[in-house]
């Protein structure tokens, strides 16, 4: 009998201990976070509430928007058992909120039996500002004349802080850069391959609350036709170039297959890299005056030559030449067209050994097919400084300089930047 009583007492003690362990198993309330947690917000803002409870899991959540004396229910949700984490999108559309301060109150409870079955509760207030008014853009520059394949610059003011601002049309976006004065400057392009009807540049300004306003500018777009050229690809050229690219291409049986892969696939990859470099640029202009043209060099090819490639009389490919080819003597000394920072100085596919210089506001220049590099990434260079020697690296058939000019990664006509008169009328006067 005594043994049974002892066993019963032992079971009671074990049960009480187990119950205590279970009761106190989870005494931590759910963790809450809101993005954005402060600043401006609107019905266009992607507000995201994140809940975490690694203990017993989340039981329910309630979200209320508080503005003045109004409490507006936004979300009320129960969760299945063992929901350790949850993410909720908060949609403010249709709440008829007023401009100004508001609070988002979040109350979340977990599945714990702590507090006599009520569980652990977190409540947090997030203070924000409701802003549904788009930014106001004031255009400062007046004349914007662009030729197809060429550049332009617009100057403007914005009345509030923005997280995206620049010129946009179609799939193109050219970021604007804020200057010390507070004004914005934006270099943009009338791309060589965009139809005149599709070139309708607008300033896009989006504030921190997600409100966006397009603003038109006065502009004149001049159409331009580009040359069409036939390029005969010889066996000697293919044999000469194949070894340089063998390590960069899949296993092909013939030099022609290697060439086509390089001329198509690697070309696109390299242009993608140039576009990537164009997104990281100085916010202020680094150049000074007109760009230098490579001295004593003859033009071999110009910007936006439409090339059709033939091999043994048969068409094999079509590409567009997006630079200006200049040649003088073998391994000629090459000079920087203008001042700036070197953002690339190494091998890059079809361009071979090359240098890319950032001149600010998205403007960059490319020097390709070099045999020797005398600068490295991070160097600051001056107008006319020797940066290396010309060569035949990459997809070059002979010793020459391929000069490319880009605005935010989009290729443009180099000859405009050599013209001091054009530069003063279209760019410098607006800076």
Q: What is the pLDDT of residues 207-233, one digit of tens each?
A: 999 999 999 999 999 999 999 999 999
Q: How many CB atoms lie within 10 A of CB 202?
A: 14
Q: Show the beta-strand stretches assigned E in 170-276.
A: 172-175, 177-178, 184-189, 202-207, 212-216, 220-222, 228-232
Q: Which structural domain, as residue segments, surrounds residue 207?
A: 137-222
Torsion of CA 287, 177, 275, 319, to 10 degrees: -70
- The answer to whether residue 15 sits within a structural domain is no
**Are 343 and 263 in a shared domain?**
yes
pLDDT at position 2 is 63
pLDDT at position 20 is 42
pLDDT at position 13 is 46
The pLDDT of 158-162, averaged and rounded, is: 96
pLDDT at position 236 is 96
Average pLDDT, the chain: 92
For residue 158, report the phi and psi dihedrals to the nearest 5 degrees: -130, 140
Tell me the per-residue pLDDT of 4-43, one tens digit each, with 9 for 90 and over.
665 555 554 444 444 444 444 557 999 999 999 999 999 8
What CATH number did the domain enclosing 250 receive? 2.70.70.10
- Identify which of 200, 160, 201, 208 has the alpha carbon closest to the alpha carbon of residue 184: 160
pLDDT at position 5 is 63
pLDDT at position 165 is 98
- Identify which of 232, 238, 270, 271 has the alpha carbon closest to the alpha carbon of residue 254: 238
* 3 state SS of 241: helix
Lookup: tokens for 249 = 């291409």
Tell me the per-residue pLDDT of 86-142, one tens digit each, with 9 for 90 and over.
999 999 988 889 999 999 999 999 999 877 668 899 999 999 999 999 999 999 999
**Are 188 and 273 in a shared domain?**
no
Lookup: tokens for 49 = 């509430």
Which residues make Cβ contacts (< 8 Å) with residue 67, sequence separation at least 6?
A: 97, 98, 100, 101, 102, 103, 130
Cis peptide before 244 (omega within 30 of 0): no
- The answer to whether residue 9 sits within a structural domain is no
- The answer to whether residue 372 sits within a structural domain is yes
**Are 62 and 121 in a shared domain?**
yes
pLDDT at position 244 is 94
What CATH number did the domain enclosing 109 receive? 2.60.40.3880
Tell which of 112, 130, 148 closes a domain.
130
Lookup: tokens for 346 = 């190494």
The pLDDT of 337-353, averaged and rounded, is: 98
Tell me the per-residue pLDDT of 366-408, one tens digit each, with 9 for 90 and over.
999 999 999 999 999 999 999 999 999 999 999 999 999 999 9
**Residue 224 and residue 147: Cα distance in Å, rounded?**
7
- Identify which of 176, 173, 180 has the alpha carbon closest to the alpha carbon of residue 155: 176
Distances (CA, A) of 157 to 12, 137, 185, 360, 407: 77, 6, 9, 19, 21
pLDDT at position 26 is 57
- The answer to whether residue 126 sits within a structural domain is yes
Tell me the per-residue pLDDT of 282-340, one tens digit each, with 9 for 90 and over.
999 999 999 999 999 999 999 999 999 999 999 999 999 999 999 999 999 999 999 99
**pLDDT of 419 higher than 70:** yes
Tell me the per-residue pLDDT of 66-96, one tens digit each, with 9 for 90 and over.
999 999 999 999 999 989 999 999 999 888 8
> How many distinct structural domains can be found in the chain?
3
**Are 321 and 369 in a shared domain?**
yes
Looking at the DSSP bridge assignments, the partners of residue 401 are: 326
């Amino acid at each position: 009998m005594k043994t049974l009583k002892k066993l019963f007492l032992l079971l009671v003690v074990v049960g009480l201990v187990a119950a205590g362990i279970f009761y106190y198993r989870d005494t931590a309330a759910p963790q809450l976070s809101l993005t954005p947690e402060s600043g401006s917000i609107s019905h266009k803002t992607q507000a995201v509430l994140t809940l975490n409870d690694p203990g017993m899991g989340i039981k329910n959540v309630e979200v209320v928007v508080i503005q003045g004396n109004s409490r507006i229910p936004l979300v009320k949700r129960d969760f299945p058992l063992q929901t350790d984490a949850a993410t909720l999108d908060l949609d403010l559309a249709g709440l008829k909120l007023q401009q100004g301060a508001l609070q988002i109150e979040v109350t979340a409870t977990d599945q714990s039996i702590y507090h006599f079955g009520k569980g652990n509760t977190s409540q947090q207030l997030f203070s924000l500002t409701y802003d549904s008014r788009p930014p106001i853009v004031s255009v400062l520059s007046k004349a914007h004349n662009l030729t197809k394949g060429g550049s332009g610059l617009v100057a403007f003011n914005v009345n509030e802080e923005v997280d995206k601002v620049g010129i946009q049309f179609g799939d193109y976006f050219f970021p604007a850069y804020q200057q010390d004065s507070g004004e914005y400057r934006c270099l943009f392009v009338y791309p060589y391959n965009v139809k005149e009807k599709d070139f309708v540049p607008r300033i896009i300004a989006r504030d921190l609350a997600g409100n966006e306003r397009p603003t038109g500018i006065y502009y004149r777009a001049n159409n331009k036709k580009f040359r069409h050229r036939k390029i005969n690809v010889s066996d000697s050229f293919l044999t000469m170039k194949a070894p340089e690219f063998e390590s960069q291409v899949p296993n092909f049986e013939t030099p022609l297959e290697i060439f086509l892969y390089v001329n198509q696939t690697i070309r696109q990859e390299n242009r993608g890299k140039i576009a990537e470099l164009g997104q990281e640029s100085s916010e202020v202009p680094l150049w000074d005056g007109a760009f230098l043209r490579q001295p004593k060099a003859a033009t071999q090819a110009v910007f936006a030559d439409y090339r059709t490639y033939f091999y043994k009389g048969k068409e094999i490919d079509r590409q567009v030449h997006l630079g200006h080819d200049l040649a003088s003597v073998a391994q000629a000394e090459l000079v920087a067209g203008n001042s700036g920072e070197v953002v690339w100085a190494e091998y890059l596919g079809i361009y071979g050994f090359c240098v890319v210089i950032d001149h600010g506001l998205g403007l960059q220049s490319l020097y390709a097919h070099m045999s020797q590099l005398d600068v490295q990434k991070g160097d600051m260079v001056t107008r006319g400084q020797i940066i290396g020697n010309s060569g035949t690296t990459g997809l070059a058939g002979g010793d020459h300089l391929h000069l490319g000019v880009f605005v935010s990664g989009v290729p443009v006509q180099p000859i405009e930047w050599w013209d001091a008169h054009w530069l003063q009328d279209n760019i410098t006067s607006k800076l």
